[in-house]
Amino acid sequence: MSSNLALRALAPDVCVSAQLQPEAMAEAATAGFRSIVNNRPDFEHGPDQPTSAALEAAARAAGLEYRHLPVDGAYQSPEQIAAFAALLRDLPRPLLVFCRSGARSAKLYQAAQGG
């Protein structure tokens, strides 16, 4: 894997990362990922964060599936956990999920796995 993608494996075919930039989408595709899930709400920490629309355009240009499931860092509802479980079930893998630091995506993954 490229050194520009700071990844942590959650499962053999699921990795988590901190905030990704649009240019990282082509790199993720080259690294073998097939899908991206963004768990960060747009404008969570100001205008310097790339929007989901910009990330989705870059992901699709790189041939990746992209989904935006924004969740709060402190609380993920049962509905959000169920929606994430459905994405885990339905999206092509390997799958890369991200948020600001990676922590909320990892927590959401664990909750969706029944933990």
In a domain, 1, yes or no: no
| Mean pLDDT over the full length of the chain | 94
In a domain, 19, yes or no: yes
Relative to beta strand 14-17, strand 95-98 is: parallel
pLDDT band (50, 70, 90) for residue 115: confident
pLDDT band (50, 70, 90) for residue 48: confident
Domains: count for the chain: 1
- pLDDT number for residue 28: 97
Residue 46 near residue 54 (C-beta atoms within 8 A): no
CATH number of the domain bearing residue 95: 3.90.190.10
Average pLDDT value for residue range 68-89 = 96
Find all residues with CB under 8 Å of 65, minimum gap 6, and list them: 34, 35, 36, 59, 91, 92
Say yes or no to pLDDT of 56 above 80: yes
